Chains A and B, each alone.
Chain A
Amino acid sequence: MFAPLRSAALVLSLSLAAPVLADDIVLTVTGAVSQPEGGDAWTFDMAELRQLPASSIETTTIWTTGSQTFEGVSLADLLAHVGATGSTIRAVALNDYAVSIPVTDAVAGGPIVAYTQNGAEMSIRDKGPLWVIYPFDDKQIYKSEEYYSRSIWQLDRIEIIKEE
Chain B
Amino acid sequence: MGRISIILFVCLLGVGVTFITYLGRTVVSDLDALSTARHDDINWNMSQLEIETLNLNSAAHNAVHGHDSDLSVFRKRYDIYYSRVRTLTQSAFYNVISKEPDAQVGLAAIAGFMDEVTPIVDGPDAGLRAALPDVQRRVEDLRPQVRDLSLAGIQVFAKEDAMRRAALSQTLVKLAASIFGLILFLLFALATLLKVHRRRQQAAHENLVMRSRFEVTLASSLDAVLVVDTNGRIMDFNGAAETVFGYSRAEALGGDMADMIVPQHMREMHRKGMARFLETGKRKIVGAGRVRLDGLRKSGEVFPVELSISLSEVNGERVFVSFLRDITRELETEAQVRAARDKAQEGEKAKSDLLTVMSHEMRTPLNGILGSLALLDKERFDDRQKRLLNSISVSGELLLSHVNDVLDLSSLEKDAPRREKVNFDLAGLLQQVTESLMANAEARGNRLLLTRLSDDLKTVTGAKRALQQCLVNLLGNAIKFTADGRVSVEAERLNGGDLVEIRVSDTGVGIAPENMDRIFDEFVTIDTAYARQNTGTGLGLAITKRLVEGMGGTLEAESLLGEGSLFTLRVPLPVAQVEPHLGTHVSSKTADSQSYAHRALVVDDNDINRMILREMLLGAGLRVEEAADGFEAIKHISQERFDIVFLDISMPGIDGIETLHRIRQLPVDWRNLPAIAVTAHAAPKDHNAIMQASFLDLLVKPVHPREIEAKLASVLAQDTGTTSVSRLETAGANFRAQFGEAEYRKALTTFETELNELHHELAGLAALTDEARSKAHKLSGSAAILGQSATHARLQTIEHCETEAWDELKEHLFETSGKA
Contacts and interface: CB of A to CB of B under 8 A. Distances in A.
A125 B91 CA distance: 15
Interface stretch (A26-34, A57-65, A79-87): A57-65
Contact of A124 (B37, B38, B80, B87): B80
Nearest to B39: A62
A148 B86 contact: no
Interface string A22-47: 01000000000000000000000000
Interface residues of A, number: 21
A149 B45 CA distance: 11
A149 B37 CA distance: 11
Interface string B362-399: 00000000000000000000000000000000000000
B80 A154 contact: yes
A127 B86 CA distance: 9
Contacts of B72: 23
A143 B32 CA distance: 10
A95 B83 CA distance: 11
A62 B91 contact: yes
B40 A62 contact: yes
Nearest to B72: A23
Contact of A123 (B37, B41, B51, B79): B79
B249 to A, nearest CB: 77
A63 B72 CA distance: 27
Contact of A95 (B38, B39, B55): B55
Interface in B36-89: 36-41, 48, 51-52, 55, 72, 76, 79-80, 82-84, 86-87
B538 to A, nearest CB: 128
B80 A145 contact: no
A143 B37 contact: yes
B40 A95 contact: no
A145 B37 contact: yes
Given A62-B91, A95-B52, A127-B87, A145 B41 contact: yes
Nearest to B55: A95
B79 A63 contact: no
Interface string A108-140: 000000000000000111110000000000001
A39 to B, nearest CB: 23
Chain B at the A interface: SS class: helix
Contact of A127 (B35, B37, B83): B83
A70 interface: no
B577 to A, nearest CB: 131
Contacts of B82: 124-125
A152 to B, nearest CB: 12
Contact of B83 (A140, A143, A145, A154): A154
Given A95-B52, A125-B86, A140 B76 contact: no
Given A62-B92, A95-B52, A124 B41 contact: no
A31 B84 CA distance: 29
B90 interface: yes
A94 interface: yes
A125 B79 contact: yes
A148 to B, nearest CB: 6
Nearest to A128: B83
B41 A140 contact: no
Given A95-B80, A124-B83, A125-B83, A149 B41 contact: yes
Contacts of A123: 79
B150 to A, nearest CB: 16
A154 B40 CA distance: 16
A95 B37 contact: no
A71 to B, nearest CB: 20
Contacts of A154: 80, 83
A8 to B, nearest CB: 33
A83 to B, nearest CB: 30
Chain A at the B interface: SS class: loop
B35 A148 contact: no
Contacts of B84: 95
A31 B383 CA distance: 186
B487 to A, nearest CB: 138
B90 A153 contact: no
Interface string B531-572: 000000000000000000000000000000000000000000
A124 B51 CA distance: 17
Contacts of A94: 76, 80
Nearest to A95: B80
Contact of B87 (A63, A144, A149): A63
A153 B79 CA distance: 13
Contacts of A64: 90
Given A95-B48, A95-B80, A154-B83, A65 B90 contact: yes
Contacts of A140: 36
Contacts of A23: 72
Most A CB within 10 A of own CB, among B37, B84, B91: B37
B37 A126 contact: no
Contacts of B83: 124-127, 153-154
Nearest to A122: B83
A35 B439 CA distance: 179
B79 A62 contact: no
Contacts of A143: 36-37
B90 A63 contact: yes
A105 to B, nearest CB: 17
Interface string B443-476: 0000000000000000000000000000000000
A153 B45 CA distance: 13
Contacts of B39: 62
Interface in B7-52: 35-41, 48, 51-52
Interface string B679-705: 000000000000000000000000000
A23 B76 CA distance: 12
A94 B72 CA distance: 13
Contacts of A95: 48, 51-52, 55, 80, 84
Nearest to A94: B80
Nearest to A123: B79
A148 B38 CA distance: 10
Nearest to A61: B40
Contacts of B55: 95
A124 B91 contact: no
Contact of A144 (B36, B48, B90, B91): B36
A153 B44 CA distance: 14
Given A63-B40, A143-B36, A124 B76 contact: yes
A17 to B, nearest CB: 20
B502 to A, nearest CB: 130
A143 B48 CA distance: 22
A143 B36 CA distance: 5
Nearest to A127: B83
Nearest to B52: A95
A67 B422 CA distance: 144
Nearest to B80: A95
A45 to B, nearest CB: 16
A153 B92 CA distance: 18
B79 A124 contact: yes
Interface string B738-753: 0000000000000000
B555 to A, nearest CB: 123
A125 B118 CA distance: 11
A143 to B, nearest CB: 4
A94 B52 CA distance: 11
A144 B86 contact: no
Contacts of A124: 76, 79-80, 82-83
Interface of B: 35-41, 48, 51-52, 55, 72, 76, 79-80, 82-84, 86-87, 90-92
**Nearest 10 Cβ contacts at the A-B interface:** A124-B79, A143-B36, A125-B82, A125-B79, A145-B37, A125-B83, A95-B80, A62-B39, A127-B83, A62-B40
5 contacts: A62-B39, A63-B91, A95-B52, A124-B79, A140-B36
Given A63-B91, A95-B80, A145-B41, 7 more contacts: A62-B39, A124-B83, A126-B86, A127-B83, A144-B35, A145-B37, A148-B40
Interface of A: 23, 62-65, 94-95, 97, 123-127, 140, 143-145, 148-149, 153-154
